[in-house]
């Protein structure tokens, strides 16, 4: 069918190192050669576009319905993240950085002291620690703030970097905060900001193809299938949902609109 002579077929087998005995001038194909082998298919001119066939993108079942119900539950925008999240913890004329109740209070105290690169650089570590306490790991964060502020002064003229790659190089800044900073400071959606709430809920809803062990694994898994126009929304949506309903311990499944379609729901 391909216009190959028997001798050409035999030569091809011999080149591949397969011994093919001949009988009456016709190559005898070994029985095992009937088994299909995984080979790359090269399109000939005029057959296809030369690209591999596109695979159907994996996505979790009923995720759109689950998402819409979460939107409905979050329509009041009355979770801690809505009042004291990162987007609420900064002045429009000053840099961001924070997290909910405790960190929001720390940010307020810092702003009262004058939250600028120069003021932080002039502040000693003990004074800075007293201001941000009782933020978790406050001693480490004092060091991170001082180191980061010095870098911002020296390398960025008192501003913050405008790429995720540069942001995660700053002391104490991980992917979640880097993506939040990109969203809020630069209005750029470079990826999904995944914290413990987003990580937990994504696994409970099985929005990941297989269970993930860390927020960063969850971010990669979500970005493989979640439409990009939802990346900016998903953080605040799931964080608030996790603070009010899908709690880390004893989730309020009886109050959740997704109880009947959630794989992890505790049903009565």
Q: Which residues are catalytic?
A: 176
E strand or H helix at 128, and its extent?
Answer: helix 125-132
93: closest CA among 109, 126, 67, 117? Answer: 117
Residue 120 near residue 149 (C-beta atoms within 8 A): yes
Residue 167 near residue 181 (C-beta atoms within 8 A): yes
- Crossing angle of helices 125-132 and 100-112, rounded to 10°: 130
E strand or H helix at 103, and its extent?
Answer: helix 100-112
Q: What is the 3-class SS of 32-73, one letter each residue?
A: HHHCCCCCCCCCCCCCCCCCCCCCCCCCCCCHHHHHHHHHHH
């Amino acid at each position: 069918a391909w216009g190959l002579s028997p001798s050409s077929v035999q030569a091809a087998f011999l080149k591949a190192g397969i011994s093919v005995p001949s009988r009456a001038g016709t190559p005898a194909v070994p029985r095992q050669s009937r088994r299909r082998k995984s080979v790359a298919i090269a399109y000939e001119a005029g057959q296809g576009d030369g690209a591999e066939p596109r695979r159907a993108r994996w996505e979790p079942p009923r995720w759109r319905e689950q998402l819409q119900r979460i939107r409905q539950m979050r329509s009041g925008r009355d979770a801690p993240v809505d009042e004291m999240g990162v987007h609420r913890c900064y002045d429009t004329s000053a840099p961001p950085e924070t997290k909910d109740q405790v960190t929001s209070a720390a940010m307020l105290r810092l702003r009262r002291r004058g939250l600028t690169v120069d003021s932080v650089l002039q502040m000693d570590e003990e004074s800075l620690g007293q201001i941000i306490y009782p933020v978790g790991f406050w001693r480490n964060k004092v060091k991170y703030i001082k180191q980061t502020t010095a870098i911002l002064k020296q390398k960025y003229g008192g501003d913050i970097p405008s790429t995720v790659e540069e942001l995660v190089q700053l002391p104490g800044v991980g992917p979640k905060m880097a993506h939040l900073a990109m969203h809020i400071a630069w209005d750029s959606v470079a990826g999904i900001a995944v914290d413990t709430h987003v990580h937990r809920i994504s696994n409970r809803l099985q929005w990941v193809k297989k269970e993930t062990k860390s927020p960063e694994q969850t971010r990669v898994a979500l970005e493989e299938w979640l439409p990009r126009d939802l990346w900016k929304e998903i953080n605040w949506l799931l964080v608030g949902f996790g603070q009010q309903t899908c709690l880390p311990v004893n989730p309020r499944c009886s109050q959740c609109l997704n109880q009947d379609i959630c794989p992890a729901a505790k049903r009565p």
